[in-house]
Amino acid sequence: MKENKNSNSFLSTKTIAALVTTILALGTISAWYAYNNLEVKNQDNKPTETIPNPDNNSNNNQQKIEIYGLNEELKIIPNTVDINIDKIENPQESLTIAFNTLLTGLNSNNLTSAIPENTKLMSLTVKEDGIHIDLSSEFTTGGGSASMIGRLGQIVYTASSLNPNVNVWINVDGKPLDILGEEGLMVEQPMTRDIFIESFPN
């Protein structure tokens, strides 16, 4: 009789252990399933993150444009700069910013500018016949013929940075620039890069 009791107790213990194991297993499966569903929902609701591109960092609103300076041999050399184009809608605005950058300083260790300080851009207009530029009277002051040729080249090349073949019309204080400097350099209007090279060969 004692053996039956012990046997029944043993079976009961095994049965209970099996049930507990089954319940724990079912609970673990349910928890795993719920966790995975929750993770998927969280991923679906998670806002998309933009991974920054190191090659294009903060440059989405930048445009590269060339402004021109002079090297030690007074040759006209491009200097590429970034300009902010948040509100720029046309080439006229791009060139205006480029010219204001040129007139306030090249920010280059290798290039200089022959354009006199305090020279201001009075206006810049893009028309069907070319780029029309009006500079303040400071543009014509100081320097010899080499300086005059250099500064004229800086203006012509910067104005034509978006289109190398464009006509450039240059005014000073609202009047066409026909003669530059005390040595009387003749300035053809309109001026182009090709005309500049023909008129003032190195």
Query: Among 103, 106, 104, which residue's Cα sits nearest to residue 70?
Result: 106
CA distance 112 to 152: 14
Q: How confident is the model at residue 141 (pLDDT cuts 50, 70, 90)?
A: very high
Q: Exposed/middle/buried for 68, CB within 10 Å: 0-12, 13-18, 19+?
A: buried
pLDDT value of residue 1: 47
pTM for the predicted model, two decimal places:
0.68
8 Å CB contact between 106 and 141? no
The model's pLDDT over 60-83, given as tens digits with 9 standing for 90+, comes to 567 788 999 999 999 999 999 887
The model's pLDDT over 18-49, given as tens digits with 9 standing for 90+, comes to 544 444 444 444 443 443 443 433 334 433 33
Cα-Cα-Cα-Cα torsion 61, 67, 71, 75, nearest 10 degrees, comes to 140
The model's pLDDT over 82-124, given as tens digits with 9 standing for 90+, comes to 877 655 567 898 899 999 999 998 877 789 999 999 999 999 9
